[in-house]
Protein backbone atom coordinates (compact mmCIF):
# COMPACT_ATOMS: atom_id res chain seq x y z
CA UNK A 1 0.00 0.00 0.00
CA UNK A 2 1.12 3.57 -0.67
CA UNK A 3 1.79 5.45 2.57
CA UNK A 4 0.89 9.13 2.74
CA UNK A 5 2.76 11.28 5.24
CA UNK A 6 1.50 14.74 6.11
CA UNK A 7 3.38 17.43 7.96
CA UNK A 8 2.94 19.06 10.27
CA UNK A 9 0.37 16.99 12.16
CA UNK A 10 -0.98 20.21 13.61
CA UNK A 11 -0.26 23.91 13.45
CA UNK A 12 -1.41 27.06 15.15
CA UNK A 13 -2.15 30.09 13.03
CA UNK A 14 -4.06 33.33 13.01
CA UNK A 15 -6.58 34.82 10.64
CA UNK A 16 -4.71 36.28 7.69
CA UNK A 17 -1.69 33.97 8.00
CA UNK A 18 -0.25 32.04 5.10
CA UNK A 19 -0.34 28.33 5.84
CA UNK A 20 1.41 25.49 4.04
CA UNK A 21 0.77 21.77 4.52
CA UNK A 22 2.90 19.12 2.89
CA UNK A 23 2.03 15.60 1.81
CA UNK A 24 4.57 13.00 0.78
CA UNK A 25 3.82 9.66 -0.89
CA UNK A 26 5.92 6.55 -0.31
CA UNK A 27 6.19 6.12 -4.09
CA UNK A 28 5.36 8.20 -7.13
CA UNK A 29 1.64 8.82 -7.56
CA UNK A 30 1.89 11.09 -10.59
CA UNK A 31 -0.82 13.71 -9.99
CA UNK A 32 -3.40 11.41 -8.38
CA UNK A 33 -3.56 13.46 -5.20
CA UNK A 34 -6.67 14.92 -3.60
CA UNK A 35 -7.27 17.15 -0.60
CA UNK A 36 -10.22 17.14 1.80
CA UNK A 37 -11.22 19.47 4.63
CA UNK A 38 -12.95 18.12 7.72
CA UNK A 39 -14.48 20.08 10.55
CA UNK A 40 -15.31 18.49 13.92
CA UNK A 41 -18.35 16.21 13.77
CA UNK A 42 -18.72 16.69 10.02
CA UNK A 43 -17.98 14.65 6.94
CA UNK A 44 -14.89 15.47 4.90
CA UNK A 45 -15.41 18.06 2.19
CA UNK A 46 -13.80 17.53 -1.20
CA UNK A 47 -11.52 20.47 -2.03
CA UNK A 48 -8.92 19.67 -4.66
CA UNK A 49 -8.23 16.88 -7.15
CA UNK A 50 -5.55 15.84 -9.60
CA UNK A 51 -3.00 17.64 -7.44
CA UNK A 52 -3.98 21.12 -8.61
CA UNK A 53 -7.63 21.42 -9.66
CA UNK A 54 -9.94 23.21 -7.26
CA UNK A 55 -13.42 21.78 -6.86
CA UNK A 56 -16.17 24.20 -7.86
CA UNK A 57 -16.79 26.74 -5.12
CA UNK A 58 -13.44 26.36 -3.37
CA UNK A 59 -11.97 29.82 -2.70
CA UNK A 60 -8.94 30.88 -4.70
CA UNK A 61 -6.94 31.41 -1.51
CA UNK A 62 -6.38 27.64 -1.65
CA UNK A 63 -3.61 26.56 -3.98
CA UNK A 64 -1.74 23.34 -4.50
CA UNK A 65 1.40 22.18 -6.21
CA UNK A 66 3.46 19.08 -6.72
CA UNK A 67 3.67 15.83 -8.59
CA UNK A 68 5.35 12.50 -8.12
CA UNK A 69 5.87 12.13 -4.39
CA UNK A 70 5.79 15.64 -2.90
CA UNK A 71 2.77 17.93 -2.73
CA UNK A 72 1.79 21.08 -0.89
CA UNK A 73 -1.48 22.76 0.02
CA UNK A 74 -1.24 26.49 0.69
CA UNK A 75 -3.87 28.77 2.13
CA UNK A 76 -2.75 32.28 1.24
CA UNK A 77 -4.75 34.18 3.86
CA UNK A 78 -6.36 32.03 6.51
CA UNK A 79 -10.03 32.76 7.17
CA UNK A 80 -12.06 31.75 10.26
CA UNK A 81 -13.89 29.06 8.27
CA UNK A 82 -10.58 27.44 7.29
CA UNK A 83 -9.82 26.17 10.78
CA UNK A 84 -10.19 22.42 10.26
CA UNK A 85 -8.28 19.22 9.64
CA UNK A 86 -6.93 18.66 6.13
CA UNK A 87 -6.32 15.24 4.61
CA UNK A 88 -4.45 14.32 1.47
CA UNK A 89 -5.43 11.17 -0.42
CA UNK A 90 -3.72 9.21 -3.17
CA UNK A 91 -5.83 7.55 -5.83
CA UNK A 92 -2.99 6.22 -7.96
CA UNK A 93 -3.29 2.69 -6.63
CA UNK A 94 -5.82 0.54 -4.84
CA UNK A 95 -6.25 0.79 -1.91
CA UNK A 96 -6.83 4.52 -1.96
CA UNK A 97 -5.03 5.82 1.11
CA UNK A 98 -5.20 8.99 3.17
CA UNK A 99 -2.64 10.93 5.12
CA UNK A 100 -3.15 11.14 8.88
CA UNK A 101 -4.33 14.71 8.66
CA UNK A 102 -3.09 18.19 9.55
CA UNK A 103 -5.10 20.08 12.13
CA UNK A 104 -5.12 23.84 11.59
CA UNK A 105 -6.08 25.59 14.80
CA UNK A 106 -5.96 29.01 16.34
CA UNK B 1 -27.45 18.31 -5.80
CA UNK B 2 -26.63 14.78 -4.80
CA UNK B 3 -27.27 13.90 -1.15
CA UNK B 4 -26.28 10.73 0.65
CA UNK B 5 -27.59 9.50 3.99
CA UNK B 6 -26.33 6.56 6.00
CA UNK B 7 -28.62 4.44 8.14
CA UNK B 8 -28.32 1.32 10.24
CA UNK B 9 -27.73 0.09 13.78
CA UNK B 10 -25.37 2.09 15.94
CA UNK B 11 -24.38 -0.91 18.03
CA UNK B 12 -23.19 -4.29 16.80
CA UNK B 13 -21.98 -7.24 18.85
CA UNK B 14 -18.52 -8.72 18.32
CA UNK B 15 -18.36 -11.50 15.69
CA UNK B 16 -21.63 -10.33 14.10
CA UNK B 17 -22.14 -8.59 10.75
CA UNK B 18 -22.34 -4.81 10.47
CA UNK B 19 -24.95 -3.74 7.90
CA UNK B 20 -25.36 -0.17 6.71
CA UNK B 21 -27.40 1.44 3.97
CA UNK B 22 -26.74 4.64 2.05
CA UNK B 23 -29.77 6.28 0.49
CA UNK B 24 -29.04 8.56 -2.46
CA UNK B 25 -31.30 11.48 -3.34
CA UNK B 26 -31.06 14.26 -5.89
CA UNK B 27 -29.67 11.90 -8.50
CA UNK B 28 -29.50 8.33 -9.66
CA UNK B 29 -27.00 5.64 -8.80
CA UNK B 30 -27.39 4.20 -12.30
CA UNK B 31 -24.68 6.10 -14.23
CA UNK B 32 -21.95 3.67 -15.19
CA UNK B 33 -19.13 6.10 -14.55
CA UNK B 34 -20.02 6.50 -10.88
CA UNK B 35 -18.68 4.36 -8.08
CA UNK B 36 -20.43 4.06 -4.73
CA UNK B 37 -18.20 3.54 -1.74
CA UNK B 38 -17.59 3.50 1.97
CA UNK B 39 -14.93 5.12 4.12
CA UNK B 40 -14.56 4.84 7.89
CA UNK B 41 -12.95 6.88 10.64
CA UNK B 42 -12.25 5.42 14.09
CA UNK B 43 -12.89 7.94 16.88
CA UNK B 44 -10.15 10.57 16.95
CA UNK B 45 -8.29 9.02 14.04
CA UNK B 46 -7.85 9.31 10.29
CA UNK B 47 -9.77 8.07 7.28
CA UNK B 48 -9.69 4.52 5.90
CA UNK B 49 -11.03 3.59 2.47
CA UNK B 50 -13.18 0.44 2.64
CA UNK B 51 -14.12 -0.05 -0.99
CA UNK B 52 -16.47 0.85 -3.82
CA UNK B 53 -18.69 -0.65 -6.49
CA UNK B 54 -19.97 0.58 -9.85
CA UNK B 55 -23.28 -0.08 -11.54
CA UNK B 56 -21.42 -2.30 -14.00
CA UNK B 57 -20.33 -4.56 -11.15
CA UNK B 58 -16.73 -3.42 -10.97
CA UNK B 59 -15.71 -3.55 -7.31
CA UNK B 60 -12.58 -2.82 -5.33
CA UNK B 61 -11.98 -3.42 -1.63
CA UNK B 62 -9.26 -2.66 0.86
CA UNK B 63 -7.34 -5.89 1.36
CA UNK B 64 -6.70 -4.89 4.98
CA UNK B 65 -10.28 -5.96 5.69
CA UNK B 66 -9.37 -9.55 4.76
CA UNK B 67 -12.40 -10.13 2.55
CA UNK B 68 -14.91 -9.18 5.26
CA UNK B 69 -16.46 -6.26 3.35
CA UNK B 70 -19.14 -6.47 0.69
CA UNK B 71 -20.90 -3.60 -1.10
CA UNK B 72 -24.11 -4.02 -3.07
CA UNK B 73 -26.28 -1.65 -5.14
CA UNK B 74 -30.07 -1.54 -5.34
CA UNK B 75 -30.77 0.59 -8.40
CA UNK B 76 -34.54 0.16 -8.04
CA UNK B 77 -34.45 1.77 -4.58
CA UNK B 78 -31.53 4.10 -5.34
CA UNK B 79 -29.44 2.97 -2.43
CA UNK B 80 -26.35 0.92 -1.75
CA UNK B 81 -25.23 -1.08 1.22
CA UNK B 82 -22.19 -2.23 3.16
CA UNK B 83 -21.83 -5.50 5.01
CA UNK B 84 -18.80 -6.08 7.20
CA UNK B 85 -18.62 -9.52 8.76
CA UNK B 86 -16.95 -10.86 11.91
CA UNK B 87 -16.60 -7.43 13.49
CA UNK B 88 -14.39 -6.66 16.46
CA UNK B 89 -13.89 -3.57 18.59
CA UNK B 90 -11.34 -2.40 16.00
CA UNK B 91 -14.23 -1.87 13.58
CA UNK B 92 -15.76 0.79 15.82
CA UNK B 93 -15.82 3.94 13.69
CA UNK B 94 -17.87 6.58 11.96
CA UNK B 95 -18.81 5.09 8.61
CA UNK B 96 -19.29 7.40 5.64
CA UNK B 97 -20.84 6.55 2.31
CA UNK B 98 -19.65 8.49 -0.69
CA UNK B 99 -19.84 8.81 -4.44
CA UNK B 100 -16.58 8.32 -6.28
CA UNK B 101 -15.33 9.17 -9.69
CA UNK B 102 -12.84 6.63 -11.00
CA UNK B 103 -11.38 7.10 -14.43
CA UNK B 104 -8.01 7.69 -16.01
CA UNK B 105 -8.22 11.40 -15.19
CA UNK B 106 -10.72 11.71 -12.33
CA UNK B 107 -10.35 9.72 -9.14
CA UNK B 108 -11.87 11.13 -5.97
CA UNK B 109 -14.82 11.08 -3.56
CA UNK B 110 -16.83 14.20 -4.34
CA UNK B 111 -20.07 13.66 -2.40
CA UNK B 112 -20.25 12.34 1.14
CA UNK B 113 -22.93 11.34 3.60
CA UNK B 114 -22.92 12.87 7.07
CA UNK B 115 -21.61 9.68 8.66
CA UNK B 116 -22.94 7.19 11.19
CA UNK B 117 -21.17 6.01 14.32
CA UNK B 118 -21.10 2.26 14.72
CA UNK B 119 -19.85 0.83 18.00
CA UNK B 120 -18.86 -2.81 18.31
CA UNK B 121 -19.51 -3.96 21.85
CA UNK B 122 -21.25 -6.74 23.70
Angle at B9 between CA B56 and CA B101, to 5 degrees: 30
pLDDT recorded at residue B111: 96
- Contact between A46 and B109 using a beta-carbon 8 Å cutoff: yes
- Contact between B111 and A46 using a beta-carbon 8 Å cutoff: yes
Residue A51 binned pLDDT confidence (cut-offs 50, 70, 90): confident
* CA separation, residue B46 to residues A30, A98, B67 (Å): 23, 8, 21
Residue A89 binned pLDDT confidence (cut-offs 50, 70, 90): very high
- In angstroms, the separation between the Cα of residue B65 and the nearest Cα of chain A is 11
pLDDT recorded at residue B97: 98
What would you report as the CA-atom Rg of chain A, rounded to the nearest whole angstrom? 13
pLDDT recorded at residue B116: 98
- In angstroms, the separation between the Cα of residue A86 and the nearest Cα of chain B is 10
Phi-psi region of B8 (alpha: psi -120 to 50; beta: other; left: phi over 0): left
pLDDT recorded at residue B84: 98
Whether chain B has a CB inside 8 Å of the CB on A94: the answer is yes
Asked if residues A58 and A106 have their Cβ atoms less than 8 Å apart, the reply is no
**pLDDT at A52 > cutoff 90:** no
Residues of chain B contacting A39 with CB distance shorter than 8 Å: none
- In a mutagenesis test of the A interface, which of B3, B98, B108 is the best target, namely the one with the most A β-carbons within 10 Å? B108
Distance, CA of B28 to CA of B6 (rounded, Å): 16
- Contact between B108 and A98 using a beta-carbon 8 Å cutoff: no
The model's pLDDT over A10-30, given as tens digits with 9 standing for 90+, comes to 999 999 999 999 999 999 999
Residue A1 binned pLDDT confidence (cut-offs 50, 70, 90): very high
Residue A106 binned pLDDT confidence (cut-offs 50, 70, 90): confident
DSSP-based three-state secondary structure for B89: helix
Tell me the pLDDT of chain B (122 aa) as tens digits.
899 999 999 999 999 999 999 999 999 988 778 999 999 999 999 999 999 999 888 999 999 999 999 999 999 999 999 999 999 999 999 999 999 988 888 899 999 999 999 999 99
DSSP-based three-state secondary structure for A9: coil
- Contact between A49 and B48 using a beta-carbon 8 Å cutoff: no
Amino acid sequence: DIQMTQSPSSLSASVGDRVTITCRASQSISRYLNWYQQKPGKAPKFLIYAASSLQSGVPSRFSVSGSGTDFTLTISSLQPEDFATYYCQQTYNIPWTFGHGTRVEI
Amino acid sequence: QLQLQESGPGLVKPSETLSLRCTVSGGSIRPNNYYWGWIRQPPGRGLEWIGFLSNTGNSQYNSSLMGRASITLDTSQNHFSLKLSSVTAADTAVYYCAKAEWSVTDRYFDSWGQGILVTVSS
